[in-house]
Amino acid sequence: MEISKEQGFNTFRRAKIAMIGAGMIGGNLALMAAQKNLGDIVLFDVVESLPQGKALDLYESTAVDGLNSVITGTNNYKDISGADIVIITAGIARKPGMSRDDLLNTNAGIMKTVAENVKKYASEAFVIVISNPLDAMVYLFQKVSGFKRERVIGMAGVLDAARFRTFISMETGISVEDINAFVLGGHGDTMVPLSRYSTLAGIPLPDFPGMTPEKIAAMEDRTRKGGGEIVALLKTGSAFYAPAASAIAMTESIIHDKKRIFPAAALCKGEYGFNDLFIGVPVVLGGRGVEKIIEVKLTESEQAALKESASSVEELVEVLGKMGYV
């Protein structure tokens, strides 16, 4: 007998989190979500038995760690039914010599199919898109699914800011814990790290003892090229630990209604002067998804840099239009 149902209590249940794509990031997303007890996890992939294998291995790790996630793998979209959160990494990743934009042709076709199926089976979900080229892929997902803009968000800024924070920590020797950094714009080489809004325990980065414009410029440059740096080292694919950790932080903020501020690709409708464009801006993530886009005053040069970054996203969106996707 199910006592709670019979007595009509309000009941809590675990969140259901679906990962579309069970590759390098997908597997780590599942591991981190389980380790943080965020809910039950479904790993979906088109490759036969891969998600089932990863899921079973991960599920068995929960016994060791004393965790309570049920983790399953599938090749059938039906199994994501009713998911609260869907995180999409489906597609191909970069290899050395490739830009994120080179992935557009292949990943657009994949994203269209993913969006149609998420709409069919998890129409109430909050969706975090990770696949590259990020800003164009999250745009495509939203257009195909028709999901409200509160429910669709692209992960890139959290990762780019984490890279910037790491480089600031390496340079100053101060704990990453006390370092905040801000990156705006598209997830490409034209992204806009904002040093003025980056702080060490509240102290603006440019004011920190020993900091020089040259050092800041070098860290900003390394941040912009941070993805490529990892691709060049790995040789067989792109970054996966930090991207997974970044999307999990966003997921936590939604599930626990934390209302944290993250830089993330959100659909702008007039904000920062952009219309109908997904681009990295500061957002508040809470139980209602993207609850707010925070508009901060930018200097002329910051504004110009953001505009330039947006124009490279607009070019990709145009290509999607020419290919008939949007």
Burial class (CB in 10 A: 0-12, 13-18, 19+), 232: exposed
Separation between Cα atoms, residue 234 and residue 118, nearest integer Å? 31
Q: Is 135 in the site for ligand TXD (CB under 6 A)?
A: no
Write each residue from 32 to 71 as x if it is in contact with ligand TXD (CB under 6 A), else as -, in one continuous string: -------------xxx------------------------
- With respect to ligand TXD, which residue has the nearer C-beta, 20 or 293? 20
Q: Is 115 in the site for ligand TXD (CB under 6 A)?
A: no
Separation between Cα atoms, residue 231 and residue 176, nearest integer Å? 23
The one catalytic residue among 23, 187, 195, 285: 187
Q: Is 304 in the site for ligand TXD (CB under 6 A)?
A: no
DSSP codes of every residue in 162-221: HHHHHHHHHHH---GGGEE--EEB-SSTT-EE-GGG-EETTEEGGGSTT--HHHHHHHHH
Which residue do the tokens 């990962």 mark? 19
Maximal CA-CA distance, the chain: 69
- With respect to ligand TXD, which residue has the nearer C-beta, 183 or 211? 183
Q: CA 49: distance to chain centroid?
A: 26
Q: Is 159 in the site for ligand TXD (CB under 6 A)?
A: yes
Q: Is 193 in the site for ligand TXD (CB under 6 A)?
A: no
CB of 48 to ligand TXD, least distance (A): 10
187 is catalytic: yes
Stretch that binds ligand TXD, among 56-64, 194-202, 216-224, 234-242 (CB under 6 A): 234-242
Mention every residue, 6+ apart, whose C-beta is less than 8 A from residue 65. 34, 35
Question: In this structure, what is the dihedral angle of CA atoms 177, 180, 182, 187, given to the nearest 10 degrees?
Answer: 0
Q: Is 254 in the site for ligand TXD (CB under 6 A)?
A: no
- With respect to ligand TXD, which residue has the nearer C-beta, 20 or 298? 20
Separation between Cα atoms, residue 247 and residue 251, nearest integer Å? 6
- Residue number closest to ligand TXD, CB atom: 23
Interface residues toward ligand TXD, by CB under 6 A: 20-26, 45-47, 89-94, 103, 107, 110, 113-114, 130-132, 134, 155-156, 159, 187, 237-240, 243
